[in-house]
Chains A and B, each alone.
Chain A
Amino acid sequence: MQTILLMIFQVVVIVLIAPLFDGMARKLRAKLQSKQGSDFFQTYRDIIKLFKRNRTVPKCSHWVFRLAPFLLFATSSAILAAIPITYSSNMAFGAYSDIFVILYLGALLRFVFGSASMDSGNPFAATGGSREQMIGVYVEPVMIMCLIVVMLAAKTSNLVQIQQMVKDGIIGYQIPSFAVASIAFLWCMYVETGRKPYDLAEAEQELQEGVLGEYAGADLGLVQAALILKQFAMIGLFLTIFEPWNFSNPFLAIIVFVLKAGVFYVAAVFIDNFGPRFKIASSLRKNALAALAISFVALTLYVVGV
């Protein structure tokens, strides 16, 4: 029971805090591009304003499109809840906080995203939905290879236990395969957060976030909040496995976690800003192949027993 309360607590805190970091990232990006930029709280203001606006929906859409903002928000909060931040000492909660649960909740998110984009009837939205799936195809094999190495080293897929083992130094960077896997996983995490080299979010109408094309008002606000949450959740997954150092007190833990994740989140702006833009069919593929090679090295290191 206490764990469930802690779970709710961590989700609520991150929901409240995440837009602040988004605002900071935007400010930083503006500065890097020699622009003035808005202040840190702009994302809150944007979302609040969206909540006040009227909504429109395409005539042809049905419940899949109309429920999607809620489903997306619920799924990304569910992923966040699965990351053991505040309940890191409760091993039994691996029943929810399992690596495969997180992976397949991610798939659920993608599934809802794609269905809603097709349901909107908007050609750009559907193209966006298709690209979202394609990114999944590129990222998922790399991600699972890294995670296999971790799971095999830890001999469990229980995320709480894995986190504890890394903290206690039972597994960790002293294992070469684990260290190599962390590199490839960092790439996956970065792609999954949907930042620029892999996601041209500035040209939202046509490209990956084109799915948002038909949303308006409160729906749009919810979807945007859900995407920010998902970005936090993905960074959280990386931190939990590869950098889990934290306090065991839930309140301190959540503060440290938010700071750590926030730093990653804001720092991503650098790559975002200076990196090139990738075409999904050619450049991302080469990039993904490189990451795949790294993760394959990690896997091979495990297989030969190093």
Chain B
Amino acid sequence: MISVYVLFLISSLVSILLYNVPKMAVKVGFGLSAVSCFYGMSHFVISMGKNDSFVMFGNFLFSPNFALTPLGNFFSFVVVFIGFASSVYGMSYAKEYINKANIGVFACLFNLFILSMLLVISANNVFCFIVLWELMTLVSSFLILVNDGKGTLKAVMIYLGIAQVGAFCITCGLLLMAYYAGSAEFSAFANLAMPLPVCVAIFILFLVGFGSKAGMWPFHVWLPLAHPAAPSNVSALMSGVMIKVALFALVKFTLFLPISIYFGLAILILGAASSLFGVLYALCQHDYKALLAYHSVENIGIILLGFGTGIYGVAAGNATLGAIGFLAGCYHVVNHAIFKGLLFLCAGSVLHATHTRDMDVLGGLAKKMPWTSVGMFIGIMGIAALPPVNGFVSEWFTYQGMLQGAMSEGIFTRYIFTLSVVALALTGVLVGMHLKLYAVIFAGTPRDKKIWENAKESPVGMILGMLILMIGCVGFGIGANFIVSYIMQAVNSITPSTYSANLGATLVTSPLGSAISTPLIAIVLCSTMILPFLILAVMKANRTKPRETDPWACGFKYSSRMQMTGGPFTGDLRKVVDWLFKGHKKIVTNGYFSPVEYHNHPQDIWWSLIYKPIIEFIKMLAQKIGVFQNGYANVYTLYILIYLCVILAVSYFVI
């Protein structure tokens, strides 16, 4: 593993040295990161089930050492896999930034970002973890700033603000754990004994800390701001992978605690809420990158449903339930990374061709950008969990895990599990509505002729990046039983159980005894696909080339403004859940002959419910405290002296 890390370090150093030759930096910088990622992929696949560790040379403050468990190996694989696709994509995509930013720095940060995520996964003591965690946040915020545009700075500030609160919570939690363990090394954390209130406090701190980074509801507000602002290959990494690192840490540290079943149930409830609210907010977005960002909230919810089941299983002493829960969660982690990465890369490709993030002015792009459109179609099939593609298998496992949980004793537990199943099913249906993402951008007639005419298919490198993830989408769906046996190695390191998820050559099975076979589903779908052609042949149907016409418009002349846009497509639903959107309806009429303007902008009510009051309060507090800052350096020195004395006194007399 040290070789992988060194390779990334070298790539980032080489990239920064190329800061004067941007054209070369595009190829070399991102090319090197692709090579490193590929090497990392093969390394992590080979050593999937193993433990690995190394101690950093030299004598640092805390003698940093790094260790990978099988679970860490699995998450590292996810990081480098998506990293590989987005670096290949970046080799063409970053050309667009030559005049906007320094490509050498961009590539260096990109490499450093992947490296920091890998190191966070393997960090093995509190100090290293916190430093690297903050490094990951900082590097990603710099990467958002690469795309210096309107509102970017605000997005970065909100991102950093929430990350700061999160990091504060994490640090407190970890320090508390270190206090009870008597050591800051994670290896000493196993089998911690601590009083229950402390344990609950630490768990809540972790939920807030890691949850805010993972984009869990109600800490999700930064995602729809930060992800659209970043360059698309960075969004793919941030949304596909970085939030997973937070989930990894959440699972890792929660398992150190003496957990109770209520921890699992709390995660389940938050997961169900995240998935529903995420998808509902995603539905009403017109900015397609913000839409995808809200989808991350939803998918984090689904993953949390899996992990919640797993943690419940571990706490209840039911190893099989724990195994299926973690399996479902991990499988959805890799699936979500793949299809969300793919969707962001496709979105980047659309943005590259059209230079607009508003999907309601696009349309009909499928004819201009066939590859991108196929990529988006497969990605949406994945996110909507439609059978032959990968999302289906992991959702199936999540369902099976939760059904298993719903059979346990206790009315409360049963209710939580069964209602979570309903939430997941509802999420599944609502995601189906996101065909609008495909349909409004790629289908129908162009709404803005000029944009449509200037649009063209992306260069080969970008298509290649998308193609890797498209193959991943289909492969991780159809090859489910291979993937499952890999993931089970990681899962068995958490909860050793007798449950084995792959059965026979093609089947994957749940502990309930239900089994599905994705290759069989694909075969049946392909063979039923022959049926209509057969019928047409037998009936000697008229297969002359169809006549091309304008769509029917009640006898009027067809205009492309008549077709459906994203807003009305989900209009019925928006009416039903208006309490959640609190849309500002505004109708502007300027006389009889000019068109009526109709605005209905939904807003995230959680912002005004939770964040706004806090921000207002802090502003007010800052006003009051402001008198202390009077500009005299000697007064400032006095403050420092007083503070020092107080701390010394406290530490001498109290502790």
Binding site for B on A (CB under 8 A): 7-8, 11, 15, 48, 51-65, 69-71, 73-75, 77-78, 81-82, 94-96, 98, 100-101, 103-105, 107-108, 110-111, 114-115, 118-127, 129-131, 133-134, 136-137, 140-141, 144-145, 148, 151-152, 155-158, 161, 213-214, 216-219, 221-222, 225, 280-281, 285, 299, 302-305
A11 and B560 in contact (CB under 8 A), knowing A119-B439, A130-B572, A218-B541? Answer: no
7 closest cross-chain pairs (CB), A and B: A118-B439, A126-B564, A119-B443, A144-B425, A55-B546, A51-B541, A60-B445
**B residues less than 8 Å from A62 (CB atoms):** 366-367, 373, 442-443
Q: In the bound complex, how far is the Cα of B515 from the Cα of A64, in angstroms?
A: 31
**Contact partners of A56 in chain B: CB under 8 A:** 546-549
Besides A57-B549, A130-B572, 7 more A-B contacts (Cβ < 8 Å) are A73-B532, A104-B385, A121-B563, A145-B418, A158-B513, A222-B536, A303-B411
Tell me whether A54 and B425 are in contact (CB under 8 A): no
A143 → chain B closest CB, angstroms: 8
Q: Does B507 contact A (CB under 8 A)?
A: yes
Tell whether, in the assembled complex, residue A123 and residue B539 are in contact, meaning their CB atoms are under 8 Å apart: no
Tell me, in angstroms, the Cα distance from A208 to B338 when the chains sit together. Answer: 34
Whether A217 and B542, one on each chain, are in contact in the complex, defined by CB atoms closer than 8 angstroms, is yes
Given A57-B548, A104-B387, A130-B568, the answer on whether A74 and B514 have CB atoms closer than 8 Å is no
Show 16 residue pairs from A and B whose CB-CB distance is below 8 angstroms, ordered by the A residue.
A8-B527, A52-B541, A54-B544, A60-B446, A61-B444, A73-B528, A95-B516, A95-B520, A96-B516, A114-B436, A121-B560, A122-B551, A141-B422, A141-B426, A157-B514, A218-B543
Contact B418 A105 (CB under 8 A): no
A107 to chain B minimum Cβ distance, whole angstroms, is 5
- Taken residue by residue from 515 to 529, chain B's Cβ proximity to chain A (1 for < 8 Å, 0 otherwise) reads as 111001100110111
Report the Cα distance A264→B68, complex, angstroms. Answer: 59
B512 touches A214 (CB 8 A): no
**Closest Cβ of chain A: how far from B239's Cβ, in Å?**
22
When C-beta atoms are compared, the residue in chain B nearest to A206 turns out to be B554
**How many chain B residues have a CB neighbour from A under 8 Å?**
88
| Bound form: Cα–Cα A39–B570 in Å | 41
Residue from the set B414, B430, B517, B528 with the largest chain A CB neighbour count within 10 Å:
B528
Within the complex, what minimum Cβ distance (angstroms) separates A74 from chain B? Answer: 4
- Which of B386, B406, B543, B548 lies in contact with A152, CB distance below 8 A? B406
Which B residues are CB-close (under 8 A) to A60? 364, 443-446, 551
B607 contacts the other chain (Cβ, under 8 Å)? no
Q: Tell me the minimal C-beta distance from B74 to chain A in angstroms.
A: 25
Contacts of A69 in B (CB 8 A): 532
CB distance from A50 to the nearest CB of B (A): 9
Using known A-B contacts A104-B392, A118-B564, A218-B543, determine if residue A95 contacts B443 with beta carbons closer than 8 Å. no
Q: Does chain A have a CB within 8 A of B421? A: yes
Q: Do A107 and B569 have beta carbons less than 8 Å apart?
A: no
Q: Mark B358-369, 1 if CB is under 8 A from A, else 0.
A: 000000101100
Given A59-B548, A94-B515, the answer on whether A114 and B432 have CB atoms closer than 8 Å is yes
Tell me if B143 is interfacial: C-beta within 8 Å of chain A: no
Do A78 and B524 have beta carbons less than 8 Å apart? yes
Interface segment among B182-190, B396-404, B457-465: the answer is B396-404
Residues of A within 8 A of B551 (CB): 58, 60, 120-123, 125, 214
Asked if B552 contacts A119 (CB within 8 A), the reply is no
Contact of A105 with B387 at beta-carbon distance under 8 Å, contacts A81-B528, A119-B443, A157-B400 already known? yes
Known: A78-B528, A137-B429, A141-B425. Contact between A54 and B546, CB under 8 A? Answer: yes
Contact B528 A140 (CB under 8 A): no
B residues apposed to A, CB below 8 Å: 364, 366-367, 373, 377, 381, 384-387, 392, 395-396, 399-400, 403, 406-407, 411, 414-415, 418, 421-422, 425-426, 428-430, 432-433, 435-436, 438-440, 442-446, 506-507, 512-517, 520-521, 524-525, 527-529, 531-533, 535-536, 539-544, 546-553, 558, 560, 562-564, 568-573, 575-576
Taking CB atoms, residues of chain A closer than 8 Å to B421 are: 144, 148
B525 lies within 8 A of A107 (CB): no
Interface residues of A, dominant DSSP? helix
Report A295 CB to chain B, min CB distance, Å. 9
Q: How far is the CA of A120 from the CA of B552 in the complex (A)?
A: 9
Most B-side CB within 10 Å, residue of A52, A73, A123 = A123
Contact call B428/A98, Cβ cutoff below 8 A: no
Whether the Cβ atoms of A122 and B563 lie closer than 8 Å is yes
B376 to chain A, nearest CB (A): 11
> Which chain A residue lies CB-closest to B389?
A108
Q: Do A115 and B418 form a contact, CB below 8 Å, given A64-B366, A104-B392, A157-B400? A: no
Question: Which residues of chain B have C-beta atoms less than 8 A from A281's C-beta?
Answer: 572, 575-576
What A residues does B525 contact at CB under 8 A? 74-75, 78
Whether the Cβ atoms of A118 and B573 lie closer than 8 Å is no
Q: Contacts A107-B428, A126-B569 hold; do A101 and B444 have CB atoms under 8 A apart?
A: no
| In the complex with contacts A64-B377, A144-B421, A152-B432 CB distance below 8 A | no
Question: Which has the most chain A C-beta neighbours within 10 Å: B426, B444, B553?
Answer: B444
**Beyond A74-B531, A104-B392, A218-B536, is A96–B435 a contact (Cβ under 8 Å)?**
no
Residues of A within 8 A of B535 (CB): 15, 73, 222, 225
The reply to whether A134 and B547 form a contact with Cβ atoms under 8 Å apart is no
A58 to chain B, nearest CB (A): 4
Question: Which residue on chain B has the smallest CB distance to residue A115?
Answer: B435
Q: When A156-B513, A218-B541 are in contact, do A107 and B386 touch as well, CB less than 8 Å?
A: yes
Q: In the complex the two chains form, what is the Cα distance from A299 to B423 in whole Å?
A: 14
Contacts of A218 in B (CB 8 A): 536, 541-543
Other-chain residue from A74, A118, A130, A137 in contact with B529 (beta carbon distance below 8 A): A74
Question: Which of A15, A51, A53, A225 has its CB near the most chain B CB atoms (within 10 A)?
Answer: A51
- In the complex, which residues of chain B have a beta carbon less than 8 angstroms from the beta carbon of A51? 536, 539-542
Q: How far is the CA of A285 from the CA of B443 in the complex (A)?
A: 30
Is A59 a contact partner of B422 (Cβ separation < 8 A)? no
Residues of chain B within 8 A of A125, CB atoms compared = 551
A287–B425 alpha-carbon span in the complex (Å): 20
Q: Are A59 and B550 in contact (CB under 8 A)?
A: yes
B429 touching A136 by the CB < 8 A rule? yes
Partner of B512, one of A7, A59, A82, A155: A155
Residues of B near A221 (CB, < 8 A) are 541
**Measured between alpha carbons, how far is A222 from B444 in the docked complex, in Å?**
22
One of A77, A121, A151, A305 near B528 (C-beta < 8 A) = A77
Q: Are B572 and A131 in contact (CB under 8 A)?
A: yes
Closest partner residue, chain B, to A219 (CB atom): B546
C-alpha gap A33/B445 in the complex (Å): 42
Contact indicator B400/A70 (Cβ below 8 Å): no
From known contacts A55-B547, A57-B546, A115-B439, infer whether A96 and B521 are also in contact, taking CB-CB under 8 Å. Answer: yes
Contact A130 B531 (CB under 8 A): no
Distance A118 CA – B512 CA, assembled complex (angstroms): 40
Q: Give A218 to B562 CA distance when docked, in angstroms.
A: 27
Output the nearest chain B residue to A127 by Cβ-Cβ distance.
Answer: B564
Which residues on A sit within 8 Å (CB–CB) of B373?
62
- Using CB atoms, name the residue of chain B closest to A69: B532
Please give, as numbers and ranges, the residues of chain B lying within 8 Å of A127 by CB-CB distance: 564, 568
Report whether A111 and B381 are in contact in the complex, using a CB–CB cutoff of 8 Å: yes
Residues on A with beta carbons closer than 8 Å to the beta carbon of B536: 51, 218, 222
- Shortest CB-to-CB span from B540 to chain A, Å, is 8
